[in-house]
């Protein structure tokens, strides 16, 4: 699993006033929690950008004044207008202690419906799981090669490794093979043309 190193420094104060002072210096305040104690730190956008602006699930190795913490991103707060990062929360991973998180959904194979002209429409990009750090996964996979036109793959169809507990509802659709309008129209027209012939054959 890919890990991003984040360099940070301890910040002496906490609270809104201290955080505002950090931001005036062009830095981003943050906290690491979940371990023996909370660690309040300051870092920069450059240190965080590869960790935040991605669709992948990544681990963070946050190094604060020489001390290293293995973490996951738990929350990111953005400025309501400029969309700058104004605060970040990391959850420290402790061996044997389960955490709740979201991981991306990935697909295996090419759906039969896509080969026939359908389009894969992804409805859910991440699912919620509960897992201990030693069993962490960076994605969950679903085989879609069997899906025909109009069919869906659901959370229950995901390949869930041992040690991973699924928290998202099993019935939620992850992706559907949509039937394009042109293909739907052609199918409908064909059925309409075939109907009289079938009726005539039945009468005979």
CATH code of the domain in which 30 resides: 2.40.240.10
The tally of domains found in the chain comes to 2
> Do residue 80 and residue 106 come from a single domain?
no
Side-chain half-sphere of 120: how many Cα atoms within 13 Å?
20
Q: Quick check: is 61 in a domain?
A: yes
Give 144: exposed, middle or buried? Use CB within 10 Å, 0-12, 13-18, 19+.
buried
> Do residue 114 and residue 67 come from a single domain?
no
> Do residue 114 and residue 181 come from a single domain?
yes
| pLDDT value of position 186 | 53
Given a contact cutoff of 8 angstroms between Cβ atoms, the answer to whether 53 and 22 are in contact is no
| pLDDT value of position 203 | 53
Last residue of a domain, one of 53, 71, 93: 93
| pLDDT value of position 199 | 45
Report mean pLDDT in 10-residue bins for the chain, 204 residues: 94 82 91 93 95 94 95 94 91 96 96 94 97 96 96 97 97 95 62 48 51
Q: How far apart are CA 64 and CA 33, in angstroms?
A: 13
Nearest to 168 by CA among 126, 136, 139, 138: 126
Last residue of a domain, one of 93, 126, 161: 93
> Do residue 26 and residue 113 come from a single domain?
no
> Do residue 153 and residue 69 come from a single domain?
no
| pLDDT value of position 17 | 84
Whether the model clears a pTM of 0.85, i.e. scores above it, the answer is no
Q: Quick check: is 85 in a domain?
A: yes
Given a contact cutoff of 8 angstroms between Cβ atoms, the answer to whether 163 and 143 are in contact is no
- How many CB atoms within 10 Å of residue 126? 15
The helix (run of H) or strand (run of E) holding residue 86 is strand 85-92
| pLDDT value of position 62 | 97
């Amino acid at each position: 699993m890919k890990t991003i190193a984040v360099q940070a420094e301890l910040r002496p104060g906490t609270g809104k006033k201290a955080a505002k002072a950090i931001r005036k210096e062009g830095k981003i305040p943050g906290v690491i929690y979940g371990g023996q104690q909370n660690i309040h730190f300051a870092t920069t956008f450059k240190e965080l950008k590869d960790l935040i602006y991605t669709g992948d699930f990544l681990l963070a190795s946050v190094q604060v004044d020489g001390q290293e913490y293995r973490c996951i991103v738990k929350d990111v707060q953005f400025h309501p207008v400029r969309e700058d990062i104004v605060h970040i929360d990391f959850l420290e991973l402790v061996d044997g202690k389960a955490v709740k998180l979201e991981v991306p959904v990935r697909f295996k194979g090419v759906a039969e419906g896509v080969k026939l002209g359908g389009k894969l429409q992804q409805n859910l990009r991440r699912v919620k799981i509960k897992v201990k750090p030693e069993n962490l996964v960076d994605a969950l996979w679903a085989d879609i090669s069997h899906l025909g036109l109009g069919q869906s793959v659901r959370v229950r169809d995901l390949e869930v490794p041992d040690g991973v507990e699924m928290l998202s509802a099993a019935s939620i659709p992850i992706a559907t093979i949509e039937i394009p309008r042109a293909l739907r129209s052609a199918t409908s027209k064909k059925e309409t043309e075939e109907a009289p012939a079938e009726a005539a054959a039945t009468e005979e």
